[in-house]
Amino acid sequence: MSVVLPVVQCGFWLPDSFAFLFVTRSPRRLANRCRMKRTLLPVFLLLTCFYAAAQTALTGKVTDVGGGNEPLPFAAVSLFENGAFVQGTTTDLSGNYFFSNIDPGTYDIEVNFTGYPPTRISEIPILPGRTNVADVEVTNEGGVNLDVVVVTDYEVPLIEVDNTTSGQTLTSDEIQRLPTRNINQLASITAGAASADEGEDITIRGSRPNATDYYIDGVRVQGSLLPESEIEQLQVITGGLEARYGDVTGGIISITTKGPSSEFGVNAEAETSEGLDGYGNSLVGLAVSGPIIKRGNEKALLGFRLSGRYTYREDDDPSAVPIYRAREDVLANLEANPVVVRGGRPFVAADFLTNQDVLALDARPFEAQDILNINAKLDARVSDAIDLSLSGYLGKFNDQFTPSENGGGISWRTYNASRNPTLVDDDYRLNFRFRHRLGGVGDANAAGGRSGLIQNASYTLQAGLENNRQGLSDPVHEDRFFDYGYVGSFDVDYIPVFDLELDDTGVPVSAFQVDYREVLRNFDGSSSTNPILTNYNNYLGYGPDNLFTPDTYGLLGDPQLTPDGQPVPTLDQFAAVNGRTQTLYRDSWGFHANVGTVYNRYQRNDDDIYTLQGNANFELVPGDSDKSRHSIQLGFLFEQRVNRRYEAFPSGLWTTGRQLINRHLNTVDTFNRVIETIEVDLGDGFLNYQGPATVVAPTIEEDAGTFYRRIREELGIPLDQYVNIDALSPDQLSLDQFSAQELTFADLVDYYGYDYLGNEVNGTFDDFFAIDPATGDRKFTVAPNKPVYASAYLQDKFTINNIIFRVGVRADRYDANTRVLKDPYSLYEIAGAETFHDRFGGERPGNIGAGYAVYTTEEGGNLVQAYRSGESWFQADGTPTNGPQEIEGIRTGLVYPSYANPAVAESNNFIKSTDFTVETSFKDYEVQYNIMPRLAFSFPISGEANFFAHYDVLVQRPPDNVLATALDYYYFVERPGSTNAPFNNPALRPEKTIDYEVGFKTRVSATSALTLSAYYKELRDMIQLRTYFPVPLVNQYTTYDNQDFGTVKGFSFTYDLRRTSNVTVNANYTLQFADGTGSNATSQRGLTNRGNLRTLFPLSFDERHRFNLVFDYRFDGRRGNIPRWLDQTGINIQGISVSGRPYTATFIPSELGGSGTRGAINGSRNPWNFTLNGQIERNFVIAGQSRLNVYFRVSNILDRRNTIGVYTATGTADDPGFLQSSFGQDQIESLLGGTRPVEAYLDSYQWRILNPDFFSLPRRMYVGVRFGI
């Protein structure tokens, strides 16, 4: 017999000489060849170096219950999912069967044996990463009727000896019964998982929210998740991660999707809250599945599943407190006259509104969200050993949101909600899987009754593509950038200004031109793209018929006057001009954005993730003994990300254009081009000149600017003629009229993976500094971000003396694939001590290394001031110090390094010189390699209890704050990082977690069990802000570094009651102490100016106590005497009680916050929270196989206003304490007797301080129906 097996990764075929590993031979030949195993097995492991999903398997023993529980060898065992045949095998001599490398889900198995009726075990939940066990008992008592199948419901064992991970798995039925549709909320019922409120980010066992990874069908995803109705299983892993999981330091939320069914089926759903609450949530969904090609009446060779859901939410994040919004008639008046004159002074009209002018709403206006989800899956069975799967997902998300609604910003909700920006998020994913089962125990039996050294071998190849595209913009203007700031046409003219030449007696004898003067003729807002902003100028009383001045020339020193003798107004006197609204009129009281405010930000992101992975699983059984069986998984993963972003701040284009359009024109010269000769009448009434005067063109001083040239080329205007940008319409302007440098210098655009116009580009970091031969300047091409991640692992699961061991090791490789600074203390490389002393002489102290950076006493000097090695500083004589503050001349921050390239010192900003080379400042990112051992074991203490423990090392690549582009460094001197706008650090290293856990699970009764566990985690190299000081050119800058540390200690208790007298209960309690030096990457902002605090304090997401309860009651006529109308009715109650999260108290209240730390950092806590959710449902069977489910669910049944955030000066959620403070009293005192009423201030203040994010979500009620055929 000859067997040829593909080894795709290594590029060649496995010859017949290796076939003995999979195919049974005679005992003698097998014994001879097994002598080669020590040599061939490592080769095999090397050749099959696939990335493996942890082996998900099903095993069990088939016994004759009527024959003394004797095993039945060679019985045929078939596996079914959704009625469709999956695979088959036969039992071995001991009656054991084994299915390997199967997808998680719910399955049936059927056993057929001669002389026995077919026996089926139904509804077996196959949990991921486990060897699931389902024993089958058959009997032939009463004779054999082949037309009858004996069906038995599977009972999930209370004690799972094989389970070496911590967490919980929810099946599709359990998900449907729970009173929530939110995946994070579903996950949070697991012990050790927590979220502040429904739908909020998940934290797992004290790790940061960005340490939680999401997987769908074995592939990590970054974009939106799929609807819960498409989930077959939801697994939450809180500890004991298998070696297949990497790039994570917290926990895993793994989703297995539903697949095709054996028969064509349709499922529909609809849900709404209309008429039940004020939040307007509705959804409709449809799913169809079934076979496309079948073999006979059994096996589906090609099957599909297609589903879609549309969700509409009038308010996607309802508020528990009233939302105040001005009445429609009041808004109409405000929009018509946003600025009013009172007492001879202009004011924001909204400053005079009181409670009678607003409405208290339940739902936030203009906060609509609509979501479309489409899922597709195609499964093909090429043969009994090979199957293919192609799945896809499309998600379209459109959301309006209120800027600065919460926190200390200026909120839009009261007056400007109609201009809420729009966020568009489109995702698609494609995943292809090829799976080949090479052999199994059944094959061995068929070949002679003995098993091979390697059994149940299979491998899988998987390729995935994920794309996420986001767009953010004003809902009206979208990508029409020059519409953002346009308020109308300002007729600005440039008239010649003359001076008088006097004779010896002081009498004017001639006039000569000395300059040009900008004068405003009139203003016309009829063409405005922002009519409300145009109305800001109504208080001035100007209109298109106003002619501010007819003058065509002026006299030096004399103002230009209107026909009625008033000074001609300037642009600065208008409340709103193109591209700018005066600060005084932008908001009301500093709390609420004024009407007509435009969201001045446009952004789009385009992120791709390319994944290639494979897996190989097999059972290694030395000596044909199940007692020495090893379950091996091994493999690799390669992932390439491509991230692009383009961001613009469009309103500023008008201001920048106004500054650039005539910047090349400078005064006048008598030798300039003569434009014309005019008759003038100049003088003050006593000394007049009347006569001719020559008008000449302004002097041209050309520079590298682009805008002033291109706009004149398009308009056909000479370079020596003034152009008024405010007379142009938006369609006459475009970004390509500017150069990249003009826009980036003004900070109007930022980009990577695009050019400055928003066109997609590729390339490398170095391309930015390449010189364009056409212009002689930088190309300003910014490459996309392309980090590379790869991993490989090996894992073995085996049993020794009833102790199950899982031993694995994982290797990760992370490459940021970009350039980083050679020295974070300097933009340019600093010369080493050896180079410096070779260059300038002098003796290098003995303890100073050759590469130590040198600082001198003056710019370009040759006298040493200090040395530095990394973070260590030394005096000029080599004496170590505790930091730069101890060194004279260095402590000021004004330092003079001796640069490796002397040309750096000759330029104020050498990076902008065409002589700059990348090697002057940058080096390649140092690739990070990490080895992570994983060890777990479990063993039965007795038949009623099981002990388990694990030790894991987890590593995660830097989750954020890692991208600094060449464009960022180009403007490093102008825009160094500050605490409010830190500079990203591409040199960040991966974060690390060391995780320990011990616990045991014991049976409490025949249907219930209790699990107790204790865990400890060390969080290392976590990302946090840090300040570099001293830094040449900028003194200091703030960036990110791997400086945070934390520890988590906790205990979890879980009680699981299986269905008993119609009741199931799952309850858990977690006691946790999560402490660290920082809760997120910016949590140390403002705490210190020099160095980070190294003291541990409670993390901001630490929950000391958390209780979860899920109670489910099913009215089932088969289980008791109940009224018929209650049959098939179920009630599910979910209760959550959690102690408050910590915050840092302050003692100085401000209007919307507080300052001055009172007590310890995070030394105060919010109050306890309690939430009760529920669902009642009823199942109906109609028309034979059709099913109908009607339900009513309520979130936050008690409508509790739980406090999840507070004002830090008072510890309450609805009062910052400002008005009671001396600062608040001074504020009120200053308003007394003023034009604006105190009542208006107090009312407006009250509308603003009610922060919806300080409270949990209110009660929401839904009624829904599900229908299936």
Is 841 inside any structural domain?
A: yes
CA distance 450 to 901: 74
Contact 473, 484 (CB under 8 A): no
Residues 1063 and 964 in one domain: yes
- Give CA angle at 619 (618, 623), nearest 5°: 145
Over residues 1210-1227, mean pLDDT: 94
Residues 1148 and 1064 in one domain: yes
β-bridge mates for residue 522, sequence order? 491
Binning pLDDT at 50, 70 and 90, where does residue 908 land?
Answer: confident
The residue range of the domain holding 833 is 821-922
Over residues 733-759, mean pLDDT: 96
Contact 520, 538 (CB under 8 A): no
pLDDT at residue 27, as a whole number = 40
Is 656 inside any structural domain?
A: no
pLDDT at residue 1219, as a whole number = 95
50-54, 214-218, 344-348: least confident range: 50-54
Average pLDDT, the chain: 89
Binning pLDDT at 50, 70 and 90, where does residue 142 land?
Answer: low
Residues 1179 and 1046 in one domain: yes
Residues 970 and 916 in one domain: no
Over residues 574-582, mean pLDDT: 96
E strand or H helix that includes residue 1068: strand 1063-1076
Residues 991 and 1047 in one domain: yes
Is 1190 inside any structural domain?
A: yes
Contact 1192, 1179 (CB under 8 A): no
CA distance 101 to 460: 9
In the block, residue with structure tokens 């099959």: 48
Tokens describing residue 395: 């998600």
CA distance 5 to 15: 7
The strand ranges marked E within 297-365 are: 299-313, 323-326, 339-342, 345-348, 358-361
- Show Cβ contacts of residue 1003 under 8 Å, excluding neighbours closer than 6 positions: 158, 159, 944, 945, 1009
Single residue among 922, 937, 967 that ends a domain in this structure: 922
More confidently predicted of 25 and 280:
280
Q: What phi and psi values does residue 834 have, to the nearest 5 degrees?
A: -65, -45
Over residues 1054-1080, mean pLDDT: 94
pLDDT tens readout for residues 523-543: 999 999 999 999 999 999 887
Percent of the chain with pLDDT over 90: 70
E strand or H helix that includes residue 1151: none
Binning pLDDT at 50, 70 and 90, where does residue 69 land?
Answer: confident
pLDDT tens readout for residues 351-376: 999 999 999 999 999 999 999 999 99
Which CB contacts under 8 angstroms, 24+ apart, belong to 550-553?
A: 551/495, 551/519, 552/495, 552/678, 553/495, 553/496, 553/497, 553/498, 553/678, 553/680, 553/682, 553/693, 553/695
Contact 59, 99 (CB under 8 A): yes
Exposed / middle / buried, residue 1254 (Cβ in 10 Å: 0-12, 13-18, 19+):
buried
Tokens describing residue 300: 């589906």
Tokens describing residue 638: 């390669």
Tokens describing residue 783: 């490459």
- Show Cβ contacts of residue 954 under 8 Å, excluding neighbours closer than 6 positions: 241, 246, 248, 249, 932, 992, 993, 994, 995
Q: In three state form, how does the secondary structure of 878-933 look?
A: CCECCCHHHCCCCCCCCCEECECCHHHHHCCCHHHCCCCCHHHCEEECCCEEEEEE
Tokens describing residue 659: 């500054």
Residues 1004 and 1113 in one domain: yes
CA distance 1151 to 1185: 63
Residues 911 and 968 in one domain: no
Over residues 579-604, mean pLDDT: 96
pLDDT tens readout for residues 27-66: 433 344 444 344 333 433 333 333 334 468 888 889 988 7
Q: What is the pTM of this model?
A: 0.89
Residues 1022 and 1151 in one domain: yes
Tokens describing residue 233: 């299983």
CA distance 482 to 462: 46
pLDDT at residue 9, as a whole number = 35
Determine if residue 1214 is left, alpha or beta; phi over 0 gives left, psi from -120 to 50 gives alpha, anything else beta. Answer: alpha
pLDDT at residue 448, as a whole number = 38
pLDDT at residue 144, as a whole number = 56
- Show Cβ contacts of residue 899 under 8 Å, excluding neighbours closer than 6 positions: 828, 829, 830, 831, 905
Over residues 382-399, mean pLDDT: 93
CA distance 544 to 534: 12
Is 416 inside any structural domain?
A: no
CA distance 493 to 495: 6
Does the pLDDT of residue 916 top 60, yes or no?
A: yes
The distance from CA 677 to its chain's CA centroid, rounded to whole angstroms, is: 66
Residues 1016 and 872 in one domain: no
pLDDT at residue 8, as a whole number = 35
Is 268 inside any structural domain?
A: no
CA distance 134 to 157: 9
351 SS3 class? helix
CA distance 674 to 667: 14
Over residues 960-973, mean pLDDT: 96
The DSSP annotation for 952-990 comes to EEEEE---SS----HHHHHTTTTS---SSSPBP-TTPPP
E strand or H helix that includes residue 494: strand 489-502
Residues 876 and 987 in one domain: no
Is 1155 inside any structural domain?
A: yes
Is 1256 inside any structural domain?
A: yes
Tokens describing residue 376: 């597709």
pLDDT tens readout for residues 1200-1213: 999 999 999 999 99
Does the pLDDT of residue 13 top 70, yes or no?
A: no
Q: In three state form, how does the secondary structure of 440-490 look?
A: CHHHHHHCCCCCCCEEEEEEEEEEEEEEEEEEEECCCCCCCHHHCCCCCEE
Amino acid, res. 920: T
Taking alpha carbons only, the member of 498, 496, 495 closest to residue 689 is 498
Exposed / middle / buried, residue 503 (Cβ in 10 Å: 0-12, 13-18, 19+):
exposed
Q: What separation in angstroms does the CA of 413 have from each of 323, 410, 863?
A: 8, 9, 61
The distance from CA 954 to its chain's CA centroid, rounded to whole angstroms, is: 20
The DSSP annotation for 595-647 comes to TT-----EEEEEEEEEEEEEEEEEEE-GGG-GGG-EEEEEEEEEEEEEEEEEE
Contact 387, 380 (CB under 8 A): yes
Over residues 1212-1231, mean pLDDT: 94
pLDDT tens readout for residues 492-527: 999 999 999 998 888 899 999 999 999 999 999 999
As a whole number of Å, the end-to-end CA separation of the chain is 48
Tokens describing residue 414: 């009261």
CA torsion 178→184→189→191, rounded to 10°?
Answer: 160
Over residues 886-896, mean pLDDT: 89
445-459, 712-726, 1033-1047: least confident range: 445-459
Question: In this structure, are strands 212-216 and 251-257 parallel, antiparallel, or unpaired?
Answer: parallel
Does the pLDDT of residue 11 top 50, yes or no?
A: no
Binning pLDDT at 50, 70 and 90, where does residue 315 land?
Answer: very high
Is 838 inside any structural domain?
A: yes
Tokens describing residue 166: 């911590």
β-bridge mates for residue 999, sequence order? 948, 1013
Residues 1209 and 1080 in one domain: yes
What ranges in 227-323 are assigned the alpha helix state H?
A: none
pLDDT at residue 405, as a whole number = 78
Write down how long the chain is: 1269
Of these ranges, 127-131, 441-445, 671-675, 790-794, the one predicted with the greatest mean pLDDT is 790-794
- Show Cβ contacts of residue 78 under 8 Å, excluding neighbours closer than 6 positions: 85, 87, 88, 109, 110, 111, 112
| Cis peptide leading into residue 692 (ω within 30°) | no
Single residue among 870, 900, 922 that ends a domain in this structure: 922
In the block, residue with structure tokens 């701040």: 649
Residues 974 and 827 in one domain: no
Q: Count of domains in the chain?
A: 2
pLDDT tens readout for residues 1098-1132: 999 999 999 999 999 998 766 666 777 788 899 99
